Amino acid sequence: MIDVVGLGEAGWEVLDGRARGLVTGARVLLGGRRHLGLVPAVAGQERHTWPSPLRAGLSGLLAEIEVDRGGVVALASGDPLRSGVGTTLVDLLGAAAVRIHPALSSETLARARMGWSAETTDVVTAVGRDLRAVLPLLAPGARVVVLCSDGADPARLAALLTDRGFGMATLTTLWRLGGVDEGSRTGSAASWPAGELTPDLVLCCVEVPLGAAAAGPAPGRPEDAFDHDGQITKRDVRASALAHLRPTAGAHLWDLGAGSGSVGLEWCLAAPRATCTAVERDPARVDRIRCNADDLGVGARLSVVAAGLSEAPFADLPSPDAVFVGGGLSAAVLDAVRPHVPVGGRLVAHAVTLETEAVLVAARADLVRAGWDAELTRLTVEHARPLGRYLSWTPARPVVQLSALRKDQP
């Protein structure tokens, strides 16, 4: 068992007796240099700083200190399970081998300073990550606590918010919360001095006023919300696809023949922690999907496999909760992906030619015989366009949609 003790900025003085006993009684004490410097020296105690990079070097460190002998305590910031080493240790050793003793987290202290309830506040970490991860959370009335990497992040965040039309958002930086050097600064994102540095150990509280324009999580963004070369599922048809795919928190989608990645991107934006693997053979489109994902703030949740569907390594991909087939549809592709759809999972495919429409008609019959719920829908969309001095309906190319829910046992 490894005990992980959370330390706040106030350090040793505010630890309770049990936590102090764990630290002083440890055979081996692990932590960052700052954390180890916050606790008193103990004669005969073995101390180690974390390896860098952490995850790659952690197994070797644990073997070196003979973790199986026990008596190992790790120090972490605040809540060790919020962007902390506690999460890494649990991932590596399992929850049964790690005991967490949290202190007040920086986000909790930040909400206390702001007077924000937990129920009305989202938290996103930008520690070692892209600040654009905050973008999916921005909406009228949103309150977001952003955990920052360093003192340069607040100015970067202010510039990002202003660039994306949220310059009116109020930005409050809070640093060294709970310590003698605690400080803060508040201003609008648009008025924030470019390049200004705040002290490290900083976070930002972002409050978006009511009435601000935002895309929101519902699918059906306009085509110009994505960089594309024309290979994109149009918004009305895309909204229908997502309605049948049913994105849920933490669920994983395969977006096959992804084109610009719009379906997978909207899947990620529609539900917290939703992830996607996009498969696309064209190298330029692969790069475009990655750029779109980063630009929309979901780059960490969407991965791209550069492959045609006939050679895609489906068995090696993360297991899907839903599968969407856009470009590259064929009977062979449907046969290849069907076994990977779990019970309760969904399969949606689109056809725009007579040949691929016939594939979906045959597939629907096969799925029903196999115990799936499957339906075909023909989607026709018309837009009003100028015709001389008047408007006339201009039809888009019809799309046949297969939507299927797996109900049989695997």
**Predicted pLDDT at 9:** 86
| Amino acid type, 5 | V
**Predicted pLDDT at 409:** 59
Based on DSSP, count helices (H) and strands (E) in the chain, helices before strands: 11, 19
Gyration radius of the chain's alpha carbons: 26
Structure tokens at 5: 């003790």
Q: Which domains does the chain have, with CATH numbers?
A: 2-104 (3.40.1010.10), 107-207 (3.30.950.10), 223-405 (3.40.50.150)
Q: How many whole angstroms separate alpha carbon 90 and alpha carbon 85?
A: 9
Q: How many whole angstroms separate alpha carbon 272 and alpha carbon 136?
A: 9
Which whole-number Å values give the CA distances from 322 to 80, 254, 278, in the listed order?
Answer: 33, 7, 12
Question: According to the 3-state scheme, what is the secondary structure of 12-31?
Answer: HHHCCHHHHHHHHCCCEEEE
List alpha helices for 126-172, DSSP H.
153-163
Q: What is the mean pLDDT of each run of 10 residues along the chain (410 residues)?
A: 91 90 95 92 94 90 90 93 91 94 93 96 92 94 95 97 95 94 96 94 95 83 92 93 97 96 97 96 96 96 95 95 95 96 97 96 96 96 95 94 86
The helix (H) or strand (E) run that includes residue 357 is: helix 354-369
Which whole-number Å values give the CA distances from 107 to 74, 77, 138, in the listed order?
Answer: 21, 11, 18
The Cβ of residue 309 has, within 10 Å, a number of other Cβ atoms equal to 21
Q: Is the peptide bond before 53 cis (omega within 30 degrees of 0)?
A: yes
